[in-house]
């Protein structure tokens, strides 16, 4: 059984068709990760008592568990809870009716929050203490210092790492297939269920993932160039 | 006028300020000297609330505040009346020279942008950097960065500007340009508290010199008195170390 080019193209088309699902998974997790992760990172760096502890515990907890397990745990508890609640309310909807893409997005978000909180914390710490002190000395509040002085310096530092996180999320989103959520990978695989040409399906999916990640990398280079203007000029 | 009474500060078990009093009249230039670790930086940082003193009071203009009990609002009021020039310049790396000088005016004081820009360009001109408005700190020499630092403090038009060893991070050939800017500032009768070991500056400009050691003020007086006729043995020892060639016994 050789490599069936025409089926490969069919699988490729299916993979591309479900690419928006993969992008949705990765980008929503990235967005949630940045918003919540930034909050956790700021809590740590500014030593906001309760939140800082919460942030530390959360990061340790999530980083120690494989993503697959987070996803499956979430899947089981969410579906069970949903069914219990629906039954109690005498509703006819059941967990099999909910779009599993939300479960996968949530699992990926939980994971990306922890990762992004850590990398943003590192980026925030890369900005020297003197920058805070100068800001306070000219009368800026803590919030103003964060948004006017610290973040504009920390964000360019974190950009290559955020790009890596996005690439990681695009790849990790493929585990959505363990809960039968139809994404890029699963789309290609479903096309192969009739003829068992999984090899072609996997190669097609790999190609699309690779293309996606390549373009992410390109975009991040462009963005980084623009955001680090003030450092670049020093070199030339 | 600025007056500090009985300021105390401890880091862990390290008593750094053990009851310092400091009174600076309007337009005075007070130079603080003393060995490394004597608490000079800590004193300035406490005045600007970058460090919270354990005890003591401060009065600047009409504001009277106990360091320990100061509320956020009082801290902000004191900060508005003081400005700091740092040893390592601490310019905002993400902003141009002009942006650095404007930041306190626009963001903290809500001065309209146009007005703030005019003020900022004027002070940058005053420190001889009118042509460097659009340069980022990384494109400036240490001396130029420190002059921007001084411009940033001047723009805020504070009651007092605190200088913490403003020339000690500079290459020797760049010290002169910063000192001459500081002298020009002093001549405008702007109140200054300057920690420095630049004797030429102290002798020429200071209204008063304060010698600190071990967290207390050991001796203070006119620059000639402190440098040429010190009364305290600790002052003599210190001067012998930094001015080996001076024979102050005549
Ligand atoms: N943030 C800090 N934490 C702990 N100790 C400090 C801190 N800042 C200063 N010190 C200590 O306070 C003492 C005085 O320091 P400093 O005020 O910098 O002296 P000076 O500026 O006269 O050299 C030193 O022993 C120093 O180690
Ligand atoms: Mg010092």
Summarize pLDDT for A178-220 with one digit per residue, the tens: 998 889 999 889 988 888 888 999 999 999 999 999 999 998 8
- What pLDDT is stored for residue A236 in this prediction? 39
- What pLDDT is stored for residue A1 in this prediction? 65
Cβ atoms within 10 A of the Cβ of A62, count?
18
CA distance B18 to B9: 7
DSSP conformation class of B139 = G
DSSP conformation class of A154 = H
- What pLDDT is stored for residue A96 in this prediction? 73
H or E stretch covering B63: strand B63-66
Quote the tokens at residue A18: 């479900």
- For B137-149, the pLDDT digits (tens) are 999 999 999 999 9
> Would you say the CB of residue B16 lies under 6 angstroms from ligand 1?
yes
Helix runs in A18-66, H state only: 19-45, 49-63
Q: Any idea where the domains of chain A sit in the sequence? A: 1-18+182-236, 22-157
Measuring CA to CA, which residue among B25, B28, B54, B26 is closest to residue B39?
Answer: B54
- What pLDDT is stored for residue A197 in this prediction? 87
Cβ–Cβ of A153/B94 closer than 8 Å?
yes
Chain A nearest-CA distance from B78, in A, is: 9
Measuring CA to CA, which residue among B34, B239, B79 is closest to residue A144?
Answer: B79
- For A68-115, the pLDDT digits (tens) are 999 999 999 888 888 888 888 888 877 777 788 999 999 999 999 999
Q: Give me the DSSP letters along A64-86.
A: TS-HHHHHHHHHHHHHHHHHHHH
Lowest mean pLDDT among A130-134, B25-29, B175-179, B237-241: B237-241
How many A from CA of A94 to the centre of ligand 1? 65
Q: Give me the DSSP letters along B5-39.
A: EEEEEEETTEEEEEEEEEEE-TT-EEEEE--TTSS
> Would you say the CB of residue B56 lies under 6 angstroms from ligand 1?
no
- What pLDDT is stored for residue B250 in this prediction? 52
> Per-residue pLDDT averaged across B79-107, rounded?
96
SS3 B190: coil
Q: Which residues contact A17 (CB under 8 A, 6 or more apart)?
A: A187
- What pLDDT is stored for residue A21 in this prediction? 94
Residue A61 has pLDDT above 70, yes or no: yes
Residue B1, judged by CB atoms within 10 A of its CB (0-12, 13-18, 19+), counts as middle
Q: Which residues contact B226 (CB under 8 A, 6 or more apart)?
A: B33, B209, B211, B219, B220, B235
The answer to whether B188 touches B135, Cβ cutoff 8 Å, is no
SS3 A20: helix
Nearest to A144 among B86, B91, B107 (CB): B107
Q: What is the pTM of this model?
A: 0.86
The answer to whether B192 touches B164, Cβ cutoff 8 Å, is no
Nearest to B90 among A131, A148, A153 (CB): A131
Please give the CATH number for the structural domain made up of A22-157.
Answer: 1.10.3720.10
Q: Which residues of A touch B90 (CB under 8 A)?
A: 128, 130-131, 133-134
Q: Which residues of A touch B86 (CB under 8 A)?
A: 130, 133-134, 137
Q: Which atom of ligand 1 is nearest to the CA of B164?
A: 21
SS3 B62: coil
Q: Note the Cα A139 to chain centre separation in Å.
A: 37
Quote the tokens at residue B151: 């411009």
DSSP conformation class of A145 = I
> Per-residue pLDDT averaged across A149-173, rounded?
93
Q: A-B interface: how many C-beta pairs under 8 angstroms?
A: 72
How many A from CA of B39 to the centre of ligand 1? 6
CA distance B124 to B199: 26
Residue B177 has pLDDT above 70, yes or no: yes
Cβ–Cβ of B103/A130 closer than 8 Å?
no
Residue B96 has pLDDT above 90, yes or no: yes
First to last CA, chain B: 36
Cβ atoms within 10 A of the Cβ of B36, count?
8
- For B183-208, the pLDDT digits (tens) are 999 999 999 999 998 988 999 999 99
CA distance B91 to A130: 8
How many A from CA of A151 to the centre of ligand 2? 28
Phi, psi dihedral angles at B51 (to 5 degrees): -130, 140
> Would you say the CB of residue B168 lies under 6 angstroms from ligand 1?
no
Residue B37 has pLDDT above 50, yes or no: yes
At residue A235 the predicted structure's pLDDT band, cuts being 50, 70 and 90, is very low
CA distance B249 to A150: 53
> Per-residue pLDDT averaged across A147-157, rounded?
93
Nearest CA in chain A to B51: A133
> Would you say the CB of residue B42 lies under 6 angstroms from ligand 1?
yes
How many A from CA of A138 to the centre of ligand 2? 20
Which residue's alpha carbon is at the smallest distance from atom 1 of ligand 1?
B11
Residue A67 has pLDDT above 50, yes or no: yes
């Amino acid at each position: 059984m050789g490599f069936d080019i025409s089926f490969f193209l069919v699988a490729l088309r299916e993979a591309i068709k479900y690419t928006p699902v993969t992008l949705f998974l990765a980008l929503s997790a990235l967005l949630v990760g940045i918003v919540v992760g930034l909050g956790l990172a700021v809590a740590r760096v500014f030593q906001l008592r309760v939140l800082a502890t919460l942030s530390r515990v959360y990061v340790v907890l999530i980083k120690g568990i494989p993503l697959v397990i987070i996803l499956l745990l979430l899947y089981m508890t969410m579906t069970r809870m949903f069914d219990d609640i629906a039954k109690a309310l005498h509703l006819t909807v059941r967990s099999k009716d909910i779009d599993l893409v939300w479960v996968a997005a949530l699992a990926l978000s939980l994971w990306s929050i922890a990762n992004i909180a850590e990398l943003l914390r590192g980026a925030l710490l890369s900005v020297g203490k003197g920058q805070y002190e100068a800001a306070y000395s000219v009368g800026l509040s803590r919030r103003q210092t964060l948004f006017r002085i610290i973040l504009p310096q920390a964000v360019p530092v974190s950009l290559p790492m955020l790009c890596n996180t996005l690439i990681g999320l695009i790849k990790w989103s493929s585990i959505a297939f363990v809960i039968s959520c139809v994404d890029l990978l699963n789309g290609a695989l479903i096309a192969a269920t009739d003829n068992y040409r999984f090899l072609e399906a996997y190669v097609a999916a790999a190609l699309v993932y690779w293309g996606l990640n390549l373009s992410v990398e390109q975009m991040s280079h462009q963005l980084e160039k623009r955001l680090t203007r003030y450092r670049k000029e020093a070199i030339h | 006028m600025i007056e500090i009474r009985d300021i105390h500060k401890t880091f862990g078990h390290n008593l750094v300020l053990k009851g310092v009093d400091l009174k600076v009249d309007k337009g005075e230039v007070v130079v603080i000297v003393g060995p490394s670790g004597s608490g000079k930086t800590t004193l300035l940082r406490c005045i600007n609330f970058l460090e919270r003193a354990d005890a003591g009071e401060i009065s600047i203009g009409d504001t009277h505040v106990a360091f320990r009990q100061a509320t956020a609002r009082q801290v902000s009021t004191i900060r508005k009346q003081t400005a700091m020039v740092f040893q390592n310049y601490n310019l905002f790396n993400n902003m141009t020279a002009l942006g650095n000088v404007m930041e306190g005016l626009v963001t903290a004081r809500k001065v309209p942008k146009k007005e703030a820009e005019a003020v900022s360009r004027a002070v940058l001109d005053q420190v001889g950097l009118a042509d460097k408005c659009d340069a980022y700190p990384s494109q400036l020499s240490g001396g130029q960065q420190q002059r921007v630092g001084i411009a940033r403090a001047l723009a805020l038009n504070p009651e007092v500007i605190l200088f913490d060893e403003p020339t000690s991070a500079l290459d020797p050939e760049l010290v002169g340009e910063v000192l001459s800017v500081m002298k020009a500032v002093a001549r405008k009768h702007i109140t200054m508290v300057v920690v420095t070991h630049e004797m030429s500056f102290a002798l020429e400009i200071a209204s008063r010199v304060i010698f600190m050691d071990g967290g207390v003020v050991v001796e203070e007086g006119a620059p000639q008195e402190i440098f040429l006729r010190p009364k305290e043995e600790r002052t003599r020892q210190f001067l012998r170390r930094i001015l080996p060639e001076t024979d102050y016994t005549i």
